[in-house]
Structure formats: C-alpha cells, structure tokens
Structure 1
Amino acid sequence: MKKTAIILGASGLTGGLLLDQLINDERYESIKLFSRSKLEGLPNKVTQYIGDLLELEQFKSDFIGDQVFCCIGTTKAKTPNKDLYKKIDYGIPVSAAKLAKTNGIETFLVISALGANSKSSVFYNKIKGEMERDVLKQDINKTFIFQPSLIGGERKESRTLEAIGKVVFKVIQPLFFGKLKKYKITDPENMSQAMINLANSKNYSEVIINSNDIKRITKNN
C-alpha cells in the first residue's frame, strides 16, 4: 500500500532534499507540504498548503497522512527575537506532533540538534530539549528525533558564521574519533535519506538518532 508523507520545512536544505527523494520514491503516492510560501515546478503527487505555520491548527482537516517529516528550524542570526525563535523551533514541531497524534498518524520524525537538553542553561539547547520532551509526550508509535551536528551543504540564504564553522570543522574532523565522531559534519543527503529509511523501518527501536547513527542508517537500509 502506497503512502502519504507530510513535510514541514521543505524550503530548507534538508527538507528540500527530502522532498526530492520522496518524489522519486515509488512507495509514496502523495506528498503534502505545509509552508508559508509556494514552491514552483513540483509534480502532481505534491499538494501544497500555504499559511502561517505558527497557527498549524488551521490545517487540522488536511493534516492527514502516514508519516510526518518535520524539518523546521531557524537560527539566532535569522531570528534574533527569542520569543519568535521559540515559537518556531519549539512551537511548530510540538503542534505538528499533537496534530499527528490527534489524526492517528503513527510515524513522526523531527530534526533537533546535538546538545539538546531541556535543563540546559544555553537558551537554544534548552529550546530544542523542551521540544524533544514535549514531542515524546505525544506518545506517537514511531517517533524518531534526529540530533545532527553541524549540517553541511550549500544553503540558499547566507549564513556567514555557519560557513566559517563548516570550514573549521572540515579541517579538524580527522581528529574526531571514538565518542567525538558524533561531532562530525552531517551530510544533508545522508540526513534526509536516513529519515526516509527509518520512517519505513519495521524493527528500529532507538528514538534519539545522533550524527554518528545517521550515516550508518543511510548505508544499512
């Protein structure tokens, strides 16, 4: 039986790659995108719902499918206002999980971040940790939380500090082994493929997926 996938954040780097992969995946007959603006040039199997994702409840009747892929995320530079930052990085994923639970969707995948901790004194780590905590409270049957390190690849928007960080990480990555391997740059294509692999896995039980796991899951499925 073919599936319907829901994507939030398809305009971003990882979400865009995920969308491309799902379009070419014959297991999916339908893809629903929920976003603030329309993407052009997409095939008929993709349906777009345009609106304010901070008010995700408005899409309740259309938020129906088999799997939810939540790739929503902002940055300190892009969203310096902490209240708005929390509404995006915490509010949208948690609202999506609640809708998934209400509508009987049994698979929910969300991108968080390495270092997420609801008790952290670092605001951004704390927000991600609180998001993870409250997504898990929905008790969706198959929930996978991805905690990548810095995600590689070229983004549409300029992120100067992130670009510098990627250069530095590439130089020092050979020093990352053992427990430090999880800090290696995460390839966005591996990230999106790992999400699809886990969404369709029948025997993977781990909930928290760090960057060290992502490459292995991409290869082993």
Structure 2
Amino acid sequence: MAVAADARVALVAGATGLVGREILARLLADKTYTAVHCVGRRKPDSVHPSLVVHLTDSLTEFSAPPVDDVFIALGTTIKVAGSQQAFRAVDFDAVVALATSARAAGATRLGIVSAMGADTRSPVFYNRVKGEMEDAVSQLGYDSVVFARPSVLAGDREALAQATRPGEQLALVAMRLFKPLIPHNYRVVAAADVAAALVNTVKAGQPGRRVLLSGELQFS
C-alpha cells in the first residue's frame, strides 16, 4: 500500500500523564501519522497497530528513532519530585535531552506542554525552570516549535493513579461559581483541549516559535 506523501512519524513523551494521554490518543486516530513512538517508564493503556513503545528509566540517555514531529508532555511538581533539583531533572533536563535526541534523528516540528507563567526572569522557581526549558529547546534548530502554556488543568487524575491536586479542585469550584468573571487565560482548561490545540498547531507547521496561552487552548 502506498504511503501518502505527507505521512509523518511522531514521538510522544509523557503519554501516561493527563495531557500526554490525550495527545497520544489524537495521534493514533490521525491518519497523517503512519507510526507513533511512545517513550517513558510505563506502557500507555493504548493499543494500536501504529504504536511503538520504548520503555526507559532515563530519558536523558534515550536515543530517538527517526521521527518528524515530537510531542513532550513531561512534568512534575516540586512536592512530588521531592526537591528543586529532582524537579529540574524532569522538567528541564529530560525535556531538553529528548528534544535534542529527536532533532538529531531528523525531527523538524516540536510541541511541548509548558506552563502559564513560564519566564526565565520569574522569581518563582517552577516558572523560571519552565522558561529556561523553553529557551533551551528553541535553540535546537527545529523548523517549528510550539509551547502550550495551560493554566489549571481539568482531567481524571484518579484514572491515572495520580493524587488529586488541591489547587485544581479549588479552581474547578471557582469556575463553577465565577466562570464569566474569570479571564480566559486563568480559567481551568481541559487536558483534552490542550492536547487538541497542541497537535493541531504542530501539524500546521508554522515556521518559528509559537506560544499558545491558556485562553487559546479553550474549546469548551
């Protein structure tokens, strides 16, 4: 069977997380992608003929296969990681290492789930690391780089065996009570909407660097 001229191969990291799971599902349902590589410590729940799973305990040592589009939805919190150093190892070191490896393997488009407030000059450590990550991967030579900066995420963490986050629960209550008064960039955003916006924008392949603020990720 002939392969379409615009057929592409994707790589996904963080596919067992809240947004990464939705990214993987969209890619597997998209006939543009003839193969979807998934890398991480655990197997995703998805089963599909075009899915190739790579299990590794160290993303910084992973050698990416030949791919076209890269989607990275890695992320933790300082509380879960246990220290600022451990947090940085995931949200900076692993992300930059994987993006670097994929670029060396031929990838030209990159989409990353970052965070609202990402800024290298931020006094907040979390936001500063996210900003440093964005700057680092922007220098790797990709034709197109897209950062999604969601605010508070909505999704079923219990289904992923993840602890619920009090901040997310409070934000959901506030949304139900005061949604019309909350600016779009600060509203709770569904993980599925973040995934849809990121995948669609990466597929569009607009040259250069683009940041999708949380208000642009809202579909519902």
Category of TM-score, reference length = shorter chain: 0.7 to 0.9
- Give structure 1 regions of 4+ aligned residues with deviation exceeding 3 angstroms: 202-206
CA distance in 2, matches of 1:191, 1:40: 20
Secondary structure of 1:68's counterpart equals strand
Secondary structure of 2:171's counterpart equals helix
Aligned length: 211
For structure 2, the residue ranges without an aligned partner over 5 or more in a row are none
Q: CA RMSD in A?
A: 2.0
Q: Find the counterpart in structure 2 of residue 121 from structure 1.
A: 123
User: Are residue 214 (structure 1) and residue 197 (structure 2) matched?
Assistant: no
CA apart distance, 1:41: 5.2
CA spacing shift, 1:115–1:49, aligned 2, 3 Å? same
Q: Find the counterpart in structure 2 of residue 173 from structure 1.
A: 179
Comparing 134-143 with 155-164, greater Cα deviation is found at 155-164
Comparing 159-168 with 146-155, greater Cα deviation is found at 159-168
CA apart distance, 1:168: 2.7
Task: List aligned pairs for 1:156-167, cutoff 5 A.
Answer: 156=160, 157-161=162-166, 162-167=168-173
Contact 1:182–1:212 (Cα < 8 Å) also in 2: yes
CA apart distance, 1:91: 1.0
Q: Find the counterpart in structure 2 of residue 33 from structure 1.
A: 38
Q: Find the counterpart in structure 2 of residue 48 from structure 1.
A: 53
Letter in 2 for 1:212: G
Secondary structure of 2:79's counterpart equals coil
CA apart distance, 1:54: 4.0
Task: List aligned pairs for 1:29-178, cutoff 5 A.
Answer: 29-40=34-45, 42-55=47-60, 57=61, 59-60=62-63, 62-155=64-157, 156=160, 157-161=162-166, 162-176=168-182
Deviations 1:17-66 (A, max 9, x none): 111111111111101010002235512211111112343x3x32x43211
CA apart distance, 1:120: 1.2
Letter in 2 for 1:172: F
Letter in 1 for 2:105: N
Q: TM-score, normalised by structure 2?
A: 0.88
Letter in 2 for 1:35: G
